[in-house]
Amino acid sequence: MKFAEHLAAHVTPEWHSQYIRYDEMKDLLYAAVEKAQPFIDDTDNTMRENYFLRIDEFFFQHCEKEASKINTFFAEKLAEALRRLETLKTELRLMTHHEYHRRYAHRNNIGIDEEGGLSPSGTVIDGHQRGTMVPLTRVLPERFIAHTIEKRQQRTQFRKIHDVKLAFSEFYLMLVLLQNYQTLNFTGFRKILKKHDKLFQTTRGEEWRKLHIDYTPFYTTKRVDQLINEVETMYTDELELGNRPKAMKRLRVPPLEEKQSPAVTFRVGMLCLLIPIVIALGVIFHENHSKKPIVWRQALLLYRSTFLVILHIILVGFNVYGWSSSGVNHVLIFEIDPRNHLTYQQFLEVGTFLFVLWFLSFISFILTSYFDFHPFIQPVGFLILLILFLINPTPTLYHQARFWFLRTLGRVLLAPWYKVGFADFWLGDQLTSLELLFFDLEYFICFYVFDINWWSVSNEPTIKRGIFCSNRTQIIFQTILLLLPSWFRFSQCLRRYRDTKQKFPHLLNAGKYASGFFVVSANSLRRATLLDYEQTPIKNPFFYFWIIASVIGSSYKLVWDLKMDWGFFDKNAAENKLLRDQCVYPSKIYYYIAICEDILFRYLWVINIFLHFKTRLAEYADVIGFIFGLIEIFRRFIWNYFRLENEHLNNCGQFRAVRDISITPIINSTDYSTLEDMMDKKDGVKNRKKSKRHELISNKKTIKKYKQQQSITTTDNNIMNDDQMQTKTDTLMELFNTDAILSSLQLNSNIEQDIGDKNE
């Protein structure tokens, strides 16, 4: 493999602009040699030498700028790594400190409060008189209390250890990327200068490298290697109890290149065989052996949604391939563990596997319909198989990826009560493109719950149906289900506004999904009144209400797609007209095609206006709806490329290549910065105007923390006497030093004085 290809395959995408510009420098050398041809043919070597000397002066200046850029970026990242390591050490020390408290409390029947302080177990604070301790056994049984407290502490401790391990693994990945950055850039300089000497027939390139590159900090420093060894040792000793194989398995860095999966090739080959079989059976079997027509409409309604879901999985696999090949770091954007995530090969493997099962189920439906042998068992059986595949608890079939999806889906369904991340609202957007799935869910429920004849061999639907499956109540049921995707995203936007207090863009984005409520409602009213205006459909008022709502909703979503989600029509786009300043994908024609495609598909619903008047086409409404579903899936497939690209460019602007896992300290320590700021005030902690009550409450909380610290200090002395842990002394001195206690005492005095002034 040529080095240019090797470099492109191994760069960290978010740092792409900070690597050596190998291709540019190589093109410069070839252009110089091409222009030097007249001097090379000339017998006068002096002119040739002078020409190459002038080229070298410019080339080495360019090399020096590149080296300066790399050194600066490397120094910044190394400083960031050192800061993060100190933070991780502090968090690890606090976690260890909390573990000592927990063990001591367990032996001596002492509880640990929510803030990490020690308090006697079996007691509670009286709500009427603060500071009055009431035995908890008066309220609840002692055994129940002890069991509850122990379980809660175990869950909290496990969660903290898991978070610390995750933070160390991400930091280790950052160090490996930084080490890779060193190696690639030095190799790039060595390769390009070697090529320089070969083309110019000189040794000045090697001499310049030995003089300038071999002594640059980004190459000579071994600090990154030391940090990697330090993290490995710390993780092994502190978090895995000396089990180095287990620690290195957790810290391992995934391979940067992917290999072709033979399973995907095999299943694609099976699909190529199964698709013609399905088509042939559909053409041959119009009737079963009893001369009754095969119920193709029911088959379409029962199978089309699962077909769309599986197709969506395969298209996401193609999305992942496009992101990976173009340098869009989707793993970071979705905040997935880079050591355990599905590659595009695995997405395609899952998708093709499910597609093979789908076609086999559909073929079985055709054959059982022909022989009148319970054909409708096949669709529900296939759906149950899909659900079992998804919730399978065994560590097989990509267990971690499946449960990551289930957790994300759970947060989408309960959006108002959970914080929303990128993966959450991305999955919510995917669900909005699967509205047909929610529409068919009504038919699926009604068919298998109320249509009692589905088990029989007659294949004739029953006339008597449930209350929610006939007349206008059926349309109400369908409307509620169709509103769910827009509701999920609407509630997510409201939650984002609650967390960030930013009206723009979250409330504006919520308005976009609220427009979907009006579109669905108006269309349902139009459908509910079709029979009332059967002879004069043009007089249906809800028909015009639906058109107005659809135009507003489609325009709203189109503008948001192009401007907000994709970042197009940027004023600073420069040469990328109508686009943005930076583009990841190789050709601008892709972007313009995507814009046209989005405009076309957003207004494709206009076809339904003509179907409203063409009653003869009503029998094909299910097929047309399926085609619309396929088009929407394809539109979302294109949308995914540019939405992730826009998010990736935001990360590139911050050179963010790994997740920033921050952990809340387990034990509270004195907030020195806050105390110093308060002490520097002219009137100490004296309250002023409207902020008086708020500051007083904060000061009382500080007094409470100080008392808790005194209690912890006393208990720590008992721990050291019992266990003879001399190493605890340094940690306690660091956490509770004399300056903090004196500051708290001074603060207490000021608060009492302030309360006295208030009473006067």
pLDDT of residue 531: 85
Q: What is the pLDDT of residue 1?
A: 59
Given a cut of 60, whether residue 756 has pLDDT beyond it is no
Q: What is the pLDDT of residue 105?
A: 61
Q: What is the value of pTM for the model shown?
A: 0.72
- Identify the pLDDT of residue 109: 57
Note the helical H segments in 285-376.
296-326, 330-333, 344-370
How far is it, in rounded angstroms, from Cα 334 to Cα 401? Answer: 12
Q: What is the pLDDT of residues 643-668, one digit of tens each?
A: 999 998 887 656 565 665 544 433 33
| Burial track 743-753 (b if 16+ CB lie within 10 A, e otherwise) | bbeebbebbee
> What is the DSSP code (8-state) at residue 292?
P
Average of per-residue pLDDT across 237-257: 77
Stronger pLDDT, 738 or 388, i.e. the higher one = 388
Average the pLDDT over 429-444 and give the result.
95
Does the N-terminal peptide bond of residue 375 adopt cis geometry, omega within 30 degrees of 0? no
Other residues' Cβ atoms within 10 Å of the Cβ of residue 54: 11
Which tokens hold the place of 176? 């490996």
Looking up tokens 């015009």, which residue turns up? Answer: 544
Q: How many CB atoms lie within 10 A of CB 227?
A: 21
Farthest CA pair distance, the chain:
108
Greater model confidence, 721 or 68 = 68
Please state, in angstroms and as integers, the Cα–Cα distance from residue 517 to each residue in 29, 365, 748, following that order. 61, 36, 56
Mean pLDDT of the chain: 78
What's the confidence (pLDDT) of residue 736? 37
- Of the candidates 559, 547, 477, which has an alpha carbon nearest to the alpha carbon of residue 519? 547
Look-up of token digits 């659809």: 550
Quick one: pLDDT band at residue 739, thresholds 50, 70, 90? very low
The more confident residue out of 639 and 273 is 639
Query: Residue type for 1, please?
Result: M
Q: What does the pLDDT read at residue 733?
A: 39
pLDDT of residue 737: 41
Q: Which residues is 133 bridged to in the sheet? A: 125
**620-644: pLDDT as tens digits:** 889 999 999 999 999 999 999 999 9
Residue % of the chain over a pLDDT of 70 = 72
427 vs 32, residue with greater confidence: 427
Rounded to 10 deg, the angle between the 435-450 and 621-653 helix axes is 140
